Amino acid sequence: MAYRSSVDIHTEWDIVAARQLGRNEAKKVGFGTVDQARITTAISELARNIYLYAGAGKIEIERLNEDGLFGIAIIASDEGPGIPDVRKVMEDGYSTSGGLGAGMPGVKRLMDDFRIDTERGKGTKITAIKWLR
Amino acid sequence: MPQQTEKEYKEILRQYLENQSEQNLYMGEAFSRKLIEQDISPEEVISIHKSALKDVLPGLPSKVWHSFDFLIEMMIRYGLALKEHQSLVKRQEEMQLEMEVASKVQETLLKTKIPVVEGMDLGYVTVPSRTMSGDYIYFVGNDMDEAGVAVADVMGKGIPAALCMSMVKFGMDSASHSSDGPSGVLSVINRIVEKSVNDSMFVTMMYGRYDAKSSTFSYASAGHEPALHYRASENRFVELDAKGLLLGVSPEARYEEGSVVLDRDDFIAIMTDGVTEARTPEGFVEKDTILEIISSVKDRPAQEMAEHVFAELDRMQGFQLQDDFSLVILKKE
């Protein structure tokens, strides 16, 4: 069975807590230093988006074991304004040009699977998975 | 493959630590090219370095090893920036390719043929400043007695201007076959443009018609750059302008019409602001300078005149056109 734990994001310091949780879980799954750093960077990016654009939300970390394949899932969810134009957010150069960091394309690159569910006025849920190779 | 890479890296590093020679560094440089080829990210390079060092210098204090983990953290975003850069470069290449295709399509779309008219020598040059042009030259003429010429300029450059220009061409096709004079032609095009082009696009156009029987050049202008009439008998230029609103602003716009009779060796120059507003690093090219350039070749055939004026202004602008350049010369033989 999957094991899931979470951190609520309200302040910038909660981003650190989410990273810590993600790193601990990534270590447990067996990821090396470089992948740990990638996973935590993805968590930073997602948590900061929650903090900046939705105000509040949570980061959940789930250890995965599917048919002998081990991995980690980051689930970032909020009840914020939602993303009006997902295609734009997924474009290279869109968020980075504004100085907002690696943006969603960055998270997608750091991880293996990436999925956005968003609805205007209701919130956003982003799931990003990395598999252990 | 990564294991092989790690092994090779370790060997190069070991040699360098022993000799610190330029040759070792050169091998390192060559190896870095291989790493890039294999798409190995900066953070991975540090990780490879760390594990190589663990074999070569095992006795280092633990804080040194931690520092590498810190460095890996530092490099993650550099790695992302690199990936993003690569993907943007690829996208740019694709867009460049599309633009080249579009430019060919436009070339075909805007193709025009110089008509043969009794006693009239015609020449023109139109060159876009970027891949796509917002200038448009169109000749009308199917008998020896009469020819029409339209010179249009869409404000702005590149793709938006080029798309808008296709609309103007469509208008031109419908309007030019009517027996209306220049002001009538502009009225028809104006209504078409007004209906089909975005409010933020502005188009200026001059339409002229030459009647070989009476040697008369009649013209109307939709806010376009005045044309120049060179009077050979007086050796001077006279501006030809006619009142009229830009195309597409109001469907009710009216266009004033003017006309001049051309004598032997007189010529008319119709141009876009890429000619009159040519910019050099020192500022705009003076109008007198442009007139001098045109005058200096007034005895040459119309096509050569137009080509010479373009070559001169292109050279003055350091071969980097600031705006689309179009010039038509109608010369009375």
Give the tens place of pLDDT for each residue, A29-56: 999 999 999 999 999 999 999 998 888 9
B240: left (phi over 0), alpha (psi -120 to 50) or beta: beta
More confident residue, B143 or B251: B251
Measured in angstroms, the CA of A40 and the nearest CA of chain B are apart by 9
Give the tens place of pLDDT for each residue, B157-209: 677 778 888 888 888 877 766 677 899 999 988 988 888 777 777 899 999 99
**Count of alpha carbons within 13 Å of A124, Cβ hemisphere only?**
24
Measured in angstroms, the CA of B160 and the nearest CA of chain A are apart by 21
> Which residues of chain B have a Cβ shorter than 8 Å from any chain A Cβ?
43-44, 47, 50, 69, 72-73, 76-77, 80-81, 83-84, 87-88, 91
Nearest to A52 by CA among A124, A132, A128: A124
The proportion of chain A whose per-residue pLDDT surpasses 70, expressed as a percent, equals 92
B44-80 burial, b at 16+ Cβ within 10 Å, e below that, comes to bbbbbbbbbbeeeeeeeeeeeeeebbebbbebbbebb
Mean pLDDT of B273-288: 81
Predicted model pTM: 0.69
DSSP string over A13-82? HHHHHHHHHHHHHHHHHT--HHHHHHHHHHHHHHHHHIIIIIS-EEEEEEEEEETTEEEEEEEEEE-SS-
Are the beta carbons of B87 and A92 separated by less than 8 Å?
yes
Among B41-45, B155-159, B232-236, B329-333, the range scoring the smallest mean pLDDT is B155-159
pLDDT at A95 over 50: yes
What is the interface size between A and B, counted as CB pairs within 8 Å? 43
Q: Which residues of A touch B88 (CB under 8 A)?
A: 92-93
Nearest to B264 by CA among B210, B218, B331: B331
pLDDT at A100 over 60: no
pLDDT at B297 over 90: yes
Nearest to B77 by CA among A31, A102, A95, A18: A102
Are the beta carbons of A93 and B84 separated by less than 8 Å?
yes
Are the beta carbons of B76 and A41 separated by less than 8 Å?
yes
Mean pLDDT of A77-82: 92
Give the tens place of pLDDT for each residue, B61-102: 999 999 999 999 999 999 998 998 999 999 999 999 998 898
* Domains by residue range for chain B, with CATH: 1-93 (1.10.1240.30), 112-332 (3.60.40.10)
Nearest to A35 by CA among A128, A109, A103, A110: A110
∠ CA A103-A107-A110, rounded to 5°: 135
Measured in angstroms, the CA of A97 and the nearest CA of chain B are apart by 11
The proportion of chain B whose per-residue pLDDT surpasses 90, expressed as a percent, equals 58
Question: In this predicted structure, what is the pLDDT of residue A99?
Answer: 47
The domain limits of chain A are 4-131
Residues 61 to 120 of A: which have CB under 8 A from any B CB? 92-93, 96, 101-102, 105-106, 109-110
Q: Which residues pair with B258 in a beta bridge?
A: B219
Measured in angstroms, the CA of B78 and the nearest CA of chain A are apart by 10
CATH topology of domain A4-131: Heat Shock Protein 90 (3.30.565)
Spatial CB neighbours of B261, under 8 Å, sequence gap ≥ 6: B214, B215, B216, B217
